[in-house]
Amino acid sequence: HAKHQGKNRYAVFKAEMELRAQRRLRMEANLRRALQNEELYLHYQPQIDLRSGRIVGVEALIRWNCRDMGQLSPAEFIPVAEESGIIVDLGRWVLQSACRQAALWCKAGLLDSLEHVAVNLSACQARDPGLMDDIRAILDETQLPHGLLELEITEGVLMDNVHANVELMRRLQEAGIHLSIDDFGTGYSSMSYLKRLPIDQLKIDRSFVHDLPGEGEAIVTAIIAMAHSLHLKVVAEGVETLQQVEFLRKAGCDNVQGFFFARPMTAAQLTALLLERRDWSTRTILPA
Ligand code: C2E
Ligand code: MG
Ligand code: MG
Ligand code: MG
């Protein structure tokens, strides 16, 4: 009987694996077409300065409304894009679209309070020898001031090949581009590396913010203290509650990003938000 059950379980497991593999293949085929078909678009999520209550940045986040498979999450399709190599074209498209939009905001005078538009960089892009040339060409084309572009590289990707990445980051910094480390706290960077890296900001991973107030307190406090001792800014990701905001403010966190303030939104929605609330103040929701 047990043997029979084991066999059944294996059959179920195998069927699931096959389904998953098929879904990936289908997604990969769709993704090749998606770039040409304009199925991809960007959302933008504001980052807010906890002291002034002003928007100091936005993060561009890719969205895909697939004709065949419906709305898909980047957490699912970005890994597929990476494994298939599509990420290089896709990443270039994201950079170009975000920079074009940022240049429009800039021309409209909406960016004076904005420090940056942040774009996520994948592992493959970081390894791509053509990356610097692509970025230069895009900045040239859009005429976006270099200092308005910020690239986010995850701690995991960074530490995977720290020497090559330090080299890349130096070149980016020389070009005037800002850098922040995404999902910070989930990887294994040491203080000695951080000290040598040409970075501007750490983004506290949302898993720690999720555990505020409570179990996340010690690690969040430690990350903020470490960042500040290295003269880096800190932004907390995934801020969803007033309690989290209050803790972060008391702990001296510089910036926040999360559903509590705003969800990722279309460029048009963000334009409206910038127009409406250029002196957006969190004082209305935060006790003084
Ligand atoms: P990430 O770069 O860490 O982006 C933050 C994610 O947290 C986004 O998920 C955002 O929608 C979500 N988020 C923001 N505030 C909250 C909150 O208060 N609560 C919760 N639960 N979530 C919040 P999204 O857009 O689904 O993206 C997931 C990941 O996919 C990103 O994580 C990033 O690693 C990757 N990704 C997204 N767009 C791009 C892109 O254009 N290029 C690359 N290479 N990766 C991207
Ligand atoms: Mg910046
Ligand atoms: Mg990010
Ligand atoms: Mg993150």
Residues 6+ apart with CB under 8 A from 54: 48, 113, 279, 280, 281
Q: Please tell me the predicted confidence (pLDDT) of residue 102.
A: 96
Q: What pLDDT, in 10s, does the model give residues 258-281?
A: 999 999 999 999 999 888 864 555
- What pLDDT shows up at residue 114? 66
Q: What is the pLDDT of residue 132?
A: 95
What residues flank ligand 1, with Cβ below 6 Å? Answer: 45, 61-62, 73-75, 78, 91, 94, 120, 122, 152, 182-183, 206, 237-240, 257-259, 264
* pLDDT value at residue 140: 96
pLDDT tens digits for range 108-141: 888 875 679 999 999 999 999 999 999 999 999 9
**H-helix or E-strand spanning residue 282:** none
260 Cα to the center of ligand 2, angstroms: 22
DSSP classification of residue 200: -
Please identify every stretch of the chain with a pLDDT value under 50, giving residue numbers as ranges: 278, 282-284, 287-288
Q: Which of 217, 223, 222, 219 is nearest to 235 (CA)?
A: 223
Which pTM value belongs to this model?
0.93
Ligand lying nearest the CA atom of residue 203: 4
Token pair recorded at residue 193 = 């590396």
pLDDT score for 284: 46
Average pLDDT, the chain: 90
Query: For residue 283, what pLDDT is reported?
Result: 47
